[in-house]
Structure 1
Amino acid sequence: MTTANTETAGIEQLRTRVAEQLERARARSIALTDAVDDDDLVRQHSKLMSPLVWDLAHVGNQEELWLVRDVGGREPVRCDIDNLYDAFQHARADRPALPLLPPAEARRYVREVRDKVLDVLERSPLEGRRLEAGGFAFGMIVQHEQQHDETMLATHQLRAGAPVLHAPPPPPGRPLPAAEVLIPAASFAMGTSIDAWALDNERPAHEVFVDAFFIDTAPVTNAAYAAFIEAGGYDDPRWWSERGWAYRQHANLSAPRFWLRAADGWLRRRFGVVEPIPPDEPVVHVCFHEAQAYAAWAGRRLPTEPEWEKAARFDPATGRSRRYPWGDEDPGPEHANLGQRHLSPAPVGAYPAGASPAGVHQLVGDVWEWLDSDFHGYPGFEPFPYREYSEAFFGGDYKMLRGGSFGTDPVAGRATFRNWDHPIRRQIFAGFRCARDASPEELA
């Protein structure tokens, strides 16, 4: 096969992959919105979240803006609704009062946009200008829709009523060989300059030196967190930062969100089901302040963002950074709990095939992990294709989250993917693991 033929075949494979990813994201959006009736779609289940029907039309509007109008150069489908679905123009709490598209019209709109997008995809060279090279604009839209699907999944967790989502339980856990592992001091390549669908805040790759540290082999479990509660952790300001203690008092925090005290222990409400809390699953629905307080109580701390990424990606045998903890191949069901295959984190030790070279488990999937780092751009950061995706949030009141959750799709599950949120947020599928400095005696 000639070089030209090989390149053409590669472009057609990419075109097929893009079409499959677009369809997978849309199938999930439809499943999440078809699971409830129209009253549920238009209702605001929490001031923290948009009505589900807003999310649905918003993903269609972003798809229209970037793929129909920009990449395709086509006439607008509905330019009259751009303002309604601009996330920067309207706070979530205000969106129910907007003249939003009703459910049937929203569904027609996203179908019409998608039909045009598939035609644009057939005609796009998927190379040339930066927005189209490697299918970036399509990948950006796929990731955007999947991120909103995870947001809609969090809205489902907040809604009242009978269960409407169902999935098989995650695989069983298994004992791990150690509670923590040592990550030796060394420089590593953080971020990426080569991943075609990496977003601007993941770029560029740059060398970072990280001192030796220990990191938990797995995220903190429900059982371990319950021990913190029973030891009076929520009532002792010694373990909390000044700001964290003030928020604990203001919000009257006493346990992770959705936990319910029972006569003989703890229950949780999970997508409409009230059930005993599995002791060996990673704790979820805690805010940064709670995670930080637990770590202090345990005599440890939260990892920094460079520490987390080094533990997840650095392979000391080759000296290079992997795309995922297990290697460069895309996530499979044996590697990580991603893609809403299950509706909860998996027990600790459930994914031995997904461990990092250092032996750290479940760094990708299960729960987003709070890190003690603020959100900023990497050295050489360049906003692309618009500054509001990342740059507008730099320096704000945000803490980093890495690794994805059981609700994160594999398309956004790479180990360079960066997430951020306010340190008080608990509706997201967030947990944490602990770290600590390595002493000179341990290094000797």
Structure 2
Amino acid sequence: MTDTVTERADAEGLRGRIATELERTRARTALLTEVVDDGDLMRQHSPLMSPLVWDLAHVGNQEELWLVRDVGGREPVRRDIDDLYDAFKQPRGDRPSLPLLPPGEARAYLATVRDKVFDLLDRVAFDSGPLVADGFAFGMIVQHEQQHDETMLATHQLRSGPAVLQAPPPPEPAVRLAEEVLVPAGPFVMGTDADPWALDNERPAHRVELPAYVIDAAPVTNGAYREFIADGGYDEPRWWSEPGWRHRQQAGLSAPLHWRRDGDGWAYRRFGRWAAVRDDEPVVHVCFHEAQAYARWAGKRLPTEAEWEKAARWDPGTGRSRRYPWGDDEPTSAHANLGQRHLWPAPVGAYPAGASPLGVHQLIGDVWEWTATGFRGYPGFAAFPYREYSEVFFGDQYQVLRGGSFGTDRSACRGTFRNWDYPIRRQIFSGFRCARDATAEQAHR
């Protein structure tokens, strides 16, 4: 009897958590789509991005497909729009010409779907199969919508016109950081088997052995990157890979996206406002090729994905891998710059409570960090619940990014979370940190 009561209490607690996350996420979606008029919602602000109204209806369509139809077994709400909002069938460049739901109709559709989802949530049994175990399908939908919220935030950064988003500035530095941190040789557990809402590409947990290496204590800053520019880094082919140099020439790259010359310095356009580039903030809006060129110029390299994760999760005191650099507790405003709480990266040293046991800072939030690793499945990978979430993207054409940005929500960010994109992309909130092999003396300390 006691076990039954406990199980009921656990189920009710999970229902409450899911409801809270669904509502919190929808509030962010509403904010991003209600601060502009209908014309702005329907407009394509960049060929790289969808019209905001496409993202709006797409998150509702995915919620309907997975929760209303698959989990709930209910009748479709709008089967007629499935193809319109299928990201694989509709390239971003074609989406403005589609017969998309206008904003009012899209919002009504989302509300209808959400009512059905809450009705389902009241009745679902969380032990009826792997799709709903621990609320996985609901967590997947929360993360999916938050990922599109970050995509919509990136669209806001690309739109022209007056500023419409408001947020306070991030905190000021609280500590002075070392330049680099030594990560000793040895094994660690990468990935997870235990996180109930972890996605298929984060699984399974597996042991990885790494030699000693050194990693930057913080992401590369604007000030450091400005030195690369001033030293002619964009004009020197030896720092660039062959595809990187080809892209740098074809795209005319000369500085991070959204930068412009401002007298003797640089200014950076943030969501419709120009401000002087601040030297102690992590550089953002650089592509993989730019990050790789900087690292070579600095006499370093980009970390592998495994090196990044060991620096972020490994606890030398216990030998275990934590969920986050600071431990297993959910992120708070003291740990990391996440969730659009601020609209740009925090200066380095702003989040001492979020540091890893080794003293590596700001691994979570602020900027997505490019790694040297192409996107592939871990040993023993199994696609779940569908191949199109991860498996169809495996290969050398995508580079892995880690850690999340100021626009990433806490539900879609953890020490095991993996993002990926083309190496030329820089409309995303991407930065990087560097690494290098440890010297013989360092390796034997």
Identify the TM-score tier after normalising by the shorter chain. over 0.9
What corresponds to 2:326 in structure 1?
326
Work out the CA distance in 2 between the residues paired with 1:310 and 1:17: 30
What corresponds to 2:343 in structure 1?
343
Work out the CA distance in 1 between the residues paired with 2:364 and 2:191: 16
In the alignment, residue 53 of structure 2 is paired with which amino acid?
V
Work out the CA distance in 1 between the residues paired with 2:41 and 2:177: 46
Work out the CA distance in 1 between the residues paired with 2:170 and 2:77: 41
Work out the CA distance in 2 between the residues paired with 1:298 and 1:346: 23
Work out the CA distance in 2 between the residues paired with 1:328 and 1:128: 28
Question: 1:158 aligned to 2:158?
Answer: yes
Map residues 266-285 of structure 1 onto 2, 5 A cutoff. Answer: 266-285=266-285
Work out the CA distance in 1 between the residues paired with 2:122 and 2:194: 25
In the alignment, residue 349 of structure 1 is paired with which amino acid?
G
2:182–2:442 contact (8 Å) kept in structure 1 = no
Structure 1, unaligned runs of 5 or more: none
Q: Compute the displacement of 1:396 (Å).
A: 4.5
Q: Compute the displacement of 1:441 (Å).
A: 2.1
2:61–2:82 contact (8 Å) kept in structure 1 = yes
In the alignment, residue 325 of structure 2 is paired with which amino acid?
P
What corresponds to 1:193 in structure 2?
193
1:174–1:350 contact (8 Å) kept in structure 2 = yes
Identity of aligned residues (%): 71
Question: 1:439 aligned to 2:421?
Answer: no
Partner SS for 2:57: helix
Q: Compute the displacement of 1:260 (Å).
A: 0.7
Map residues 94-243 of structure 1 onto 2, 5 A cutoff. Answer: 94-243=94-243
In the alignment, residue 98 of structure 1 is paired with which amino acid?
L
In the alignment, residue 233 of structure 1 is paired with which amino acid?
G
1:127–1:135 contact (8 Å) kept in structure 2 = no
Per-residue CA deviation, residues 184-232 of structure 1 (Å, 9 max, x unaligned), is 0111110001110000000000001111000000000000000100010
Question: 1:264 aligned to 2:253?
Answer: no
1:338–1:408 contact (8 Å) kept in structure 2 = yes
Work out the CA distance in 1 between the residues paired with 2:174 and 2:21: 33
Work out the CA distance in 2 between the residues paired with 1:253 and 1:264: 19
1:223–1:279 contact (8 Å) kept in structure 2 = yes
Work out the CA distance in 2 between the residues paired with 1:407 and 1:103: 23
In the alignment, residue 183 of structure 1 is paired with which amino acid?
V
Work out the CA distance in 2 between the residues paired with 1:314 and 1:108: 46
Map residues 276-295 of structure 1 onto 2, 5 A cutoff. Answer: 276-295=276-295
Partner SS for 1:255: coil
Partner SS for 1:53: helix
Per-residue CA deviation, residues 153-190 of structure 1 (Å, 9 max, x unaligned), is 00000000000000000000144341000000111110
Per-residue CA deviation, residues 299-338 of structure 1 (Å, 9 max, x unaligned), is 0000000000000000011110000000000001000000
Partner SS for 2:388: coil
Work out the CA distance in 1 between the residues paired with 2:433 and 2:396: 24
Q: Compute the displacement of 1:443 (Å).
A: 2.4
What corresponds to 2:389 in structure 1?
389
1:268–1:275 contact (8 Å) kept in structure 2 = yes
Work out the CA distance in 1 between the residues paired with 2:282 and 2:231: 19
Per-residue CA deviation, residues 264-304 of structure 1 (Å, 9 max, x unaligned), is 20001100001101111000000000000000000000000
Partner SS for 1:321: coil
Work out the CA distance in 2 between the residues paired with 1:418 and 1:282: 20
What corresponds to 1:76 in structure 2?
76
What corresponds to 1:364 in structure 2?
364
Partner SS for 2:395: coil
What corresponds to 2:420 in structure 1?
420
Q: Compute the displacement of 1:125 (Å).
A: 1.1
Work out the CA distance in 2 between the residues paired with 1:309 and 1:384: 22
In the alignment, residue 35 of structure 1 is paired with which amino acid?
V
Work out the CA distance in 2 between the residues paired with 1:175 and 1:326: 16
Q: Compute the displacement of 1:263 (Å).
A: 1.0
Work out the CA distance in 1 between the residues paired with 2:352 and 2:441: 30
Question: 1:247 aligned to 2:244?
Answer: no
Partner SS for 2:255: coil
Work out the CA distance in 2 between the residues paired with 1:25 and 1:418: 20
2:201–2:390 contact (8 Å) kept in structure 1 = yes
Work out the CA distance in 1 between the residues paired with 2:391 and 2:409: 24
2:157–2:270 contact (8 Å) kept in structure 1 = yes
What corresponds to 2:16 in structure 1?
16
1:370–1:430 contact (8 Å) kept in structure 2 = yes
In the alignment, residue 186 of structure 2 is paired with which amino acid?
A
Structure 2, unaligned runs of 5 or more: none
> TM-score scaled to structure 1, two decimals?
0.99
Work out the CA distance in 1 between the residues paired with 2:413 and 2:74: 32
In the alignment, residue 205 of structure 1 is paired with which amino acid?
A
1:367–1:406 contact (8 Å) kept in structure 2 = yes
2:175–2:350 contact (8 Å) kept in structure 1 = no
Work out the CA distance in 1 between the residues paired with 2:177 and 2:254: 32
In the alignment, residue 254 of structure 1 is paired with which amino acid?
S
Work out the CA distance in 1 between the residues paired with 2:318 and 2:226: 40
> TM-score scaled to structure 2, two decimals?
0.99
2:185–2:443 contact (8 Å) kept in structure 1 = no
